[in-house]
Amino acid sequence: MARVSRLGLLVLLLLAVMASIAAPALAQEAEQIGGRISSEGEGVPGVEIGVATPDGEAVGVGTTDENGEWSVELPASGTYRVTIDTTTLPQGVELRDPERQELEIRVSEGASATALFALGEREEAGSILGQRLAQSVFNGLKFGLIIAMTAIGLSLIFGTTGLINFAHGDLVTLGAFLAYIFNVVLGLHLVIAGLIAVVLTAVISGAIDAGLWRPLRRRRTGLISMLVISIGLAFVIRHIVLFFFGGSRRPFNDYTLQIAMNVGPVRIQPVEVWVMSLSVLILVGVALMLTRTRLGKGMRAVADNRDLAESSGIDVQRVILSVWVMGGALTAVGGIFLGMIESVDYLMGFRLLLLMFAGVILGGLGSAYGAMLGSIIVGLVSEVSTVFFSSQLKYVWALGVLIVILLVRPQGLLGQKERVG
């Protein structure tokens, strides 16, 4: 397949070159696409811009004059694909947003349309590799900490009940959505709204265990059946949120307009500092709780060997309920934090779910520490990949890690080997 597509690309390229030679001769007075390429107010001459139909058939190539202006005549109205050849840009000048190297422009009959390519430094990070790397490591840590918080519950639920909870991502969405209601709709401050949302999500999560999963466990429903039921539950939660919230992305009211500070090579918003420090505090708190408290020891004991735990007097059902309540609270915190640094939308949790799976399997299914470690690695991988590859593919790299770890070490980094059949 790879060879076929490469061959196809070559053919397309040849066609494009041939068409671009032929096109100017055929040009008539008609629709056109044009624009001005400038850097710090000065026109940039000698930049080549290719225009093609959506099918990839080249229409023409424009070159900027001394004022940085260019235009390409079009055969008819319609949609065209305009690409700037970045290799023709002078040294030291590059696109502000490398993703916008190619634009889709609609030209109506008899009109001339403008294609805008903004040059200059990228807004988010500098052009130097080291600086971008530092920024992406920072972003990766931030993202990884959020995945870690949500993934602990997923891992502990699996450890204590054997269930892979496909509805876990939608608890993240639910937490963020509830916080949005109290913050934006009812006008409470985000800190208060967030606390209410965390408590509510924890209660709902506990109620789901007591009302749905415990009766199913009592009926000895198979794990695969429960897994499919959790998907049904995920659908219900996700689309109830969609019904009330709509499909758009929305920010919270507070902590949105913030001025970034430069800390060494990295640009940091104050809200990110808060989110990250709180995440670390919460993760340390959970770790301490798991090792020092009676309940935490009970959780680990049930995850390790349920029958042994039960026979040594641990109330397994109560421990499982606490795992659900704690997991629910943590997912809500993760959802709110994610909503603070990005925005709230009904698919945010589902997108996170696949990354949680990657983190949990990387760290070792059933282990809380493994979930933390694996999630942070997944966050780092997905963000650092954007330095070298398109940011559209950042989840692909994170999910690729999942498949690689299953190939080489299926029990995960911190998992025990005999867990896996």
Using CB under 8 A, which residues numbered 74 to 113 contact other proteins?
Answer: 99, 102, 104
Q: Is 352 in the site for other proteins (CB under 8 A)?
A: no
264 belongs to the binding site for other proteins (CB under 8 A): no
Interaction of residue 396 with other proteins, rule CB under 8 A: yes
Query: What's the CA gap between 302 and 290, in Å, rounded?
Result: 12
Among residues 114, 101, 244, 111, the alpha carbon closest in space to that of 185 is found at: 244
Please check whether residue 395 is in contact with residue 351, taking contact to mean a CB–CB distance below 8 angstroms.
yes
DSSP assignments along 242-260, one per residue? HHHH-SS-B--SSS-S-PP
> Can you give the C-alpha Rg of the chain in angstroms?
26
We find the least distance from the C-beta atom of residue 7 to other proteins, in angstroms, to be 9
The residue from 118, 128, 261, 403 that contacts other proteins (CB under 8 A) is 403
CB under 8 A, 24+ apart: contacts of 194-202:
194/333, 194/336, 197/332, 197/336, 198/329, 198/332, 198/333, 198/336, 199/329, 200/332, 201/171, 201/174, 201/175, 201/328, 201/329, 201/331, 201/332, 201/335, 202/325, 202/326, 202/328, 202/329, 202/332
- Which of 103, 242, 268, 413 binds other proteins (CB under 8 A)? It is 242
Q: Which is nearer to other proteins, 278 or 399 (CB)?
A: 399
Choose, by CB under 8 A, the member of 326, 333, 361, 378 that binds other proteins: 361
Interactions with other proteins, residue window 157-186 (CB under 8 A): 162, 164
235 makes contact with other proteins (CB under 8 A) = yes
Mask 120-159, x = binds other proteins (CB under 8 A)? ----------------------------------------
Q: Can residue 392 be called a binding residue for other proteins (CB under 8 A)?
A: yes
Residue position matching structure tokens 């959020």: 146
304: exposed, middle or buried (Cβ count in 10 Å: 0-12, 13-18, 19+): middle
- Between CA 418 and CA 365 the distance in angstroms is 12
The phi, psi pair for 16, rounded to 5°, reads -60, -40
Q: Does residue 254 contact residue 189 with C-beta atoms inside 8 Å?
A: yes
The least distance separating other proteins from the CB of residue 1, rounded to whole angstroms, comes to 7
Q: How far is the CB of 13 from other proteins (least distance, A)?
A: 9
For residue 419, the minimal CB distance to other proteins (Å) is 9
Question: Which among 67-75, 296-304, 325-333, 400-408 is the span making contact with other proteins, rule CB under 8 A?
Answer: 400-408
The stretch among 3-11, 37-45, 86-94, 371-379 that binds other proteins (CB under 8 A) is 3-11
Q: Which stretch binds other proteins (CB under 8 A): 185-193, 196-204, 291-299, 388-396?
A: 388-396
Residue 348 binds other proteins, judged by CB under 8 A = no
Residue 406 sits in the site that holds other proteins (CB under 8 A): yes
Strands 32-36 and 112-114, sheet pairing: parallel
CB of 244 to other proteins, least distance (A): 9
Among 188, 357, 359, 381, binds other proteins (CB under 8 A): 357
Let me know how many helices (H) and strands (E) the chain has, helices first: 13, 11
Indicate which single residue of 246, 263, 277, 285 sits in contact with other proteins (rule: CB under 8 A).
Answer: 246
Q: Exposed, middle or buried: residue 417 (CB in 10 Å: 0-12, 13-18, 19+)?
A: exposed
Cα of 27 vs its chain's centroid, Å? 45
Looking at beta carbons only, is 24 or 54 nearer to other proteins?
Answer: 54
Q: Answer for the pair 147, 172: CB distance below 8 angstroms, yes or no.
A: no
Tell me, residue by residue from 18 to 57, as one string, x for binding to other proteins by CB under 8 A and - for no binding. Answer: ------------------------------------x-x-
Binding site for other proteins (CB under 8 A): 1, 4-5, 8-9, 12, 54, 56, 99, 102, 104, 162, 164, 216, 221-225, 227-229, 231-236, 238-240, 242-243, 246-247, 350, 354, 357-358, 361, 390, 392-393, 395-396, 399-400, 402-403, 406-407, 410, 420-421
